[in-house]
Structure 1
């Protein structure tokens, strides 16, 4: 089967790549893309703060949270509710005062209209001999004030000018940064490295994290916690939700879709 050339428009074949390219450029239709690794949180990160957990807690559905983040979220919600209640009380007081003001607004408007009409009737006499002198004095004062303002501005700009900072004593130095040892999580039983590509489970009594392979091959045989020796039930084994790796073979659906208007004929 033949394919289109780079700028070919006369061929009979419309490839999948050209269709996706034209769909993205047209602005119509639903765009779908598979998320990469940079857009996925790690399995040990909190679902609220998206940061690695130090004091983790897990839900019955397997979602991991930082205990401090949950408490901060609850306190934040309480604070927001208290702020909204204060705003509501202020609004009620303002509405009550506005109703009291509106009851007297008509009388005040009549008084203001009366004052404005009376003030427009009375006019002050103009002295033709002093009006010109006043205008000359005002122009001279404005010219002198503008000259003083320009002098002050030039002095301020000269005082704000800074000396050159490209001298050896002020040149920044690029010091080498110390690299910390990377933290790696391992299974509590098999010591296998844990990550987004490895399905994990949490044992409720001990809080240990083990691989799903360890659960299937070892723990489910006698339903005993290998760390503490306690008896387990099916509810005590919580599959931990993971974000995936971004590869299609990870077994996790990580496609993102954007619904856009459809072109109608």
Structure 2
């Protein structure tokens, strides 16, 4: 067989390369691409706004937020809970009214039946037994046994069954962290104090600077590639190397001489560097319709 050209369509097999090429050009099939350094937030950016924090606060799990953004998030969630709770209470009230009405109707039905029996003490024999006794034939009609009025008809609008209203579950009053999914309380937020890099020759604004902050103890430049931690007592940000080599020796704060516990050292969650050794998820996937061949 002679050698074909690159874009030859005479092949009898739809190859993987052709399928992948057609999927990319047509917009079908799940596409994945590797995230670069510019696709992830910096370590000093808010997890909600993805912008540098003006008033940074941190949770117990180490997620950094801007104070205004996280408070707005908590207030929004509480308002949403109040709205859902009102709808749930309205539903409970309607259920109680419906149950009470059903009970009253059942009581009235039994009372009417009792009165009718008392009026007709001597009952007559049933003249037409065919309506109550099912036929002995193999097939039982849906119209027999007086079920004609019970079965709805999809052709008559008045007898068409209607869908029931969706049930509302009781809302949860807790506010959960948008990053960790754990319960979040405003009083548990810890103020963070970054130490600015003092470089008189750098006249750029704080946001435009590449090296903005440094370790409060060792003055090492902080970045996504440098693991950091927040000291809960003062809110100072230090490197994990400083924690391991200096702080954990005697568990005393180097700046304030306060006694520290293990819970006072909160590792700061990093945004990402673009390297697989730092990040867990570097692949971004977009689910699209499959290409049918």
User: With structure 1 as the length reference, what TM-score do the two structures score?
Assistant: 0.52
Summarize the Cα distance change of 1:6–1:36 in structure 2 as closer, same or farther, 3 Å threshold: farther
Match of 1:180 in 2: 205
Larger helix fraction of residues = 1
Q: Distance in 1 between matches of 2:264 and 2:84?
A: 41
SS of the residue 2:229 aligns to:
strand
Offset, 1:84: 7.6
Of 248-257 and 46-55, the range deviating more from structure 2: 248-257
How does 1:20-169 map onto structure 2 within 5 Å? 21=21, 24-25=24-25, 27=27, 29-79=29-79
What is the distance in 2 between the residues matched to 1:16 and 1:247? 29
User: SS at 2:284's partner residue?
Assistant: strand
Q: CA deviation at 1:232?
A: 1.8
Change (3 A) 1:17 1:228: farther
Query: Cα RMSD between the aligned structures?
Result: 4.1
Deviation at 1:205, TM superposition (A): 1.0
How do 1:242-261 and structure 2 match up within 5 A? Answer: 242-248=270-276, 250-261=278-289
* C-alpha distance after superposition, 1:149-199 (max 9, x if no partner): xxxxxxxxxxxxxxxxxxxxxxxxxxxxx9536451001111111111211
5+ residue gaps, structure 1: 89-177
Give the match for residue 217 of structure 1.
245
Residue 49 of structure 1 deviates from its aligned partner by: 1.9
CA distance in 2, matches of 1:201, 1:17: 47
CA positional deviation for 1:226: 1.3
How far 1:80 moved relative to its partner? 5.4
Q: Against the structure 1 CA distance between its residues 210 and 252, is the aligned structure 2 distance closer, same or farther, given a 3 Å change threshold?
A: farther
Q: Structure 2 regions of 5+ residues with no counterpart?
A: 89-202
Q: Is the 8 A contact 1:46 1:65 kept in 2?
A: yes
User: Radius of gyration: which is bigger?
Assistant: 1
Which one is further off, 205-214 or 223-232?
223-232
Q: Which secondary structure does the structure 1 equivalent of 2:243 belong to?
A: helix
Q: Does 1:208 align with 2:236?
A: yes
Instruction: Please give the alpha-carbon distance, in whole angstroms, between the structure 2 residues aligned to 1:16 and 1:197.
Output: 38
| Paired residues of 1:201 and 1:240 also in contact (CA < 8 A) | yes
In the alignment, the residues of structure 2 paired with residue 208 and residue 259 of structure 1 have an alpha-carbon distance, to the nearest angstrom, of 42
Change beyond 3 A, Cα 1:232–1:87: closer
SS in 1 for 2:213: coil
Distance 2:20 2:241 in 1: 39
Residue 252 of structure 1: how far off its partner (Å):
4.5
